[in-house]
Amino acid sequence: MAGRPPELFPLFAGLDTLPGVGPKAVQAFAQMAVDKPRDLLFTLPHSGVDRRLRGSIREVTPGSTVTVEVEIGGHVPPRRMGGPARVHVRDSETEFQLVFFHARGDWLDRQLPSGQRRVISGKLELFDGVAQIVHPDHILRPEEAGDLPAFEPVYPLSAGLTQRMVAKAALAAVARAPDLAEWIDPALKAREGWPDWRDAVAAAHAPAGAEGLAPTHPARQRLAYDEFFAHQMTLALARATLRRGKGRSSQGSGALQDKVLQSLPFAPTGAQRRAVAEIAADMASEKRMNRLLQGDVGAGKTLVAFLALLIAVEAGGQGVMMAPTEILARQHMDSLRPLAEAAGVRLEILTGRDKGAERAAKLAAAAAGEIDILVGTHALFQKDVALADLRLAVIDEQHRFGVAQRMELAAKGQAADVLVMTATPIPRSLALANYGDMDVSLLDEKPPGRKPVKTALVSAGRLDEVVAHLRQAIAEGRQAYWVCPLVDESEAVDLTAAEERFRHLRAALGEGHVGLVHGQMPAAQKDAAMAAFAAGETAVLVATTVIEVGVNVPNASIMVIERAEIFGLAQLHQLRGRVGRGAAESTCLMLYQPPLGETAERRLAILRETEDGFRIAEEDLAIRGAGDVIGTAQSGLPRFRVGDIERQAALMAVAQTDARRLLGDDPGLDSARGQAARALLWLMEQDRAIRLIAVG
């Protein structure tokens, strides 16, 4: 594809080509992630100051900004070194003072000559009952007053920048904005009443009043939509590339699936049957499947994934299931083994721990097609792992697996269908932002037999009662998790917290009853502690949050979470989901350190009200915001400068539909609108998307 369109060059020049931006300012702007004029275009004012001319300061309340025309009276020099100089002034109704610190007398005389008229704009304050403006923002001759905007935008700043510098640079950047051809669907643009791109940029930087700052203002809405649309174009291109990659039709006979279903003590839920049907249809088609299987804690994703793997085997191929950690890979292995036995298929596990002859034998069996289903960690991605006929890759816990890795898997040259499982219910808007390149299957029913978990809030002061309750439960043969928080960024501190709790509980409950798992342990030790707990050899497992994902011990019916108030909602919901998997009544005790803040209280109250992960996720988003819900650092969640994923979820959904439709009609982006969309991708720096078009 041709390079960046020339009309965008001025927006991608150095910042120092803008007036008033020297080397120091360039560094200060970099702190705000502003490196070129284009970034300034999308750095919009967050508030504004009303600078309309008033008759008198009496029209506003002290503490706000006022603009008035005054007659200048006498100057009062500072009484002592470093004290303030004062200038008496009078508007049409009343007198007040202008106050200056460290101002040179001759400068004041020139700016504010006694007996003349000036327009003053600044913050009005009351000091000892006297109205005053300290260091007015503007001092203008009456004939210049027209230059003052009635509503002055206020920009975000970093150290070393002033409002005036940013506003001047932003206006210069806006002046460089070229007229670009329209990439928005004309019907949508007309329906929403959105301005052209260039007009939208100009309007967003020159709001006429507070309404011009609202996300609902047509100019801002249009710019937010542009960001979402560019992002969804990238995802849609990734999806089209994956699907354009030669897929293979894998049609199952149903024979192996029937054997498994007959071996189960219960019938699958409607949601499970629906998900399997969606997956089967995708696998049967010639296009590559790229599907997200999203289910709440305990919704039965494993069964759905295994039935999908059996479709691959029935069609004469193989399947792999990839987990993020060794512990989880082994767990999948344990939960799939009985299903594999029922179906009569060969299931093996491959992790970084397999060495030497054992590993070589497994690799040979996989390459020869003798292994039907291979479970493992990302060791499955290594160069020497070859499968005779890989039809389906199931990837567990999407969070640590972004669009780039999905594309890498596809690039392994195998035309495998991809099914990603996530146990984290994600609100729709975030699912669209993060997984917009995928089709989604939802498991929104619980299988029969899952009992609700009783959830109680307990103040940390009642720790002894909790331990006594545990002692009683252990005597009855029950098992419990005890989760210690990650209080501190430094793992050493968390470690001592977990180790101290471990020692305390061991003293209280008896040596052999308590195990410990934390992030700093060698993998083998971690696995041993987990295995001992799973086998019922230890009754209580003290852990940092490593147990959050996927651990399955049906006999464990008590979950104690220490300092529950510092955990996120989704995390608490995940942790609670570790119990309630067996026949026993389960409880989750959330220990908190009083007093509880308002947000923490709201979080814990929601957990007591509901076990619906999707509702919890929506609440979590409302409380914390998008970056935190997915954990922005490792989520690959896009950073939008104008768009707000939480408040503009509906806009994101429209952008997805629109992007997919445009690519469906014009896969090479060759039409006039397609060419305009290419310019948008350059403008929004979606380089990956641009490379994908080139590949196309």
Write the CATH number for 321: 3.40.50.300
Asked if 25 and 170 sit in the same domain, the reply is yes
Residue 188, in any domain of the structure: yes
Asked if 425 and 530 sit in the same domain, the reply is no
Going by pLDDT thresholds of 50, 70 and 90, the confidence category of residue 630 is: very low
Going by pLDDT thresholds of 50, 70 and 90, the confidence category of residue 524 is: confident
Asked if 397 and 431 sit in the same domain, the reply is yes
Residue 488, in any domain of the structure: yes
Going by pLDDT thresholds of 50, 70 and 90, the confidence category of residue 299 is: confident
Asked if 283 and 311 sit in the same domain, the reply is yes
Task: Take residue 377 and report the two structure tokens written for it.
Answer: 């960690």
Residue 659, in any domain of the structure: no
Alpha-carbon distances, residue 162 vs 20, 92, 154, 155 (angstroms): 11, 32, 10, 9
Of 125, 148, 171, at which residue does a domain stop?
Answer: 148
Residue 509, in any domain of the structure: yes
Q: What is the Cα–Cα distance from 90 to 103, expressed in whole angstroms?
A: 21
Residue 491, in any domain of the structure: yes
Question: How many Cα atoms occupy the beta-carbon half-sphere of 54 within 13 Å?
Answer: 20
pLDDT at 173 over 80: yes
Of 116, 148, 180, at which residue does a domain stop?
Answer: 148
Domain count within the chain:
4
Asked if 415 and 300 sit in the same domain, the reply is yes
Residue 316, in any domain of the structure: yes
Residue 666, in any domain of the structure: no
Going by pLDDT thresholds of 50, 70 and 90, the confidence category of residue 629 is: very low
How much is the pLDDT for 623? 64
Asked if 394 and 478 sit in the same domain, the reply is no
Asked if 467 and 547 sit in the same domain, the reply is yes
Asked if 506 and 529 sit in the same domain, the reply is yes
Write the CATH number for 72: 2.40.50.140
Of 610, 645, 675, at which residue does a domain stop?
Answer: 610
Q: 97-111, 194-208, 612-626 — which is least confidently predicted?
A: 612-626
Asked if 539 and 419 sit in the same domain, the reply is no
Asked if 98 and 185 sit in the same domain, the reply is no
Alpha-carbon distances, residue 95 vs 57, 122, 132, 142, 577 (angstroms): 9, 15, 9, 18, 68
Across 454-468, average pLDDT: 92
Asked if 299 and 387 sit in the same domain, the reply is yes
Residue-range definition of the domain harbouring residue 84? 59-148
Its pTM surpasses 0.75: no
- Collapsing DSSP to helix, strand or coil, 513 comes out as helix
Across 483-502, average pLDDT: 70
Average pLDDT, the chain: 85
How much is the pLDDT for 406? 60
Asked if 273 and 413 sit in the same domain, the reply is yes
pLDDT at 323 over 90: no
Query: How many other C-beta atoms lie within 10 A of the C-beta of residue 246?
Result: 10
Residue 653, in any domain of the structure: no
Across 578-593, average pLDDT: 85
Going by pLDDT thresholds of 50, 70 and 90, the confidence category of residue 206 is: very high
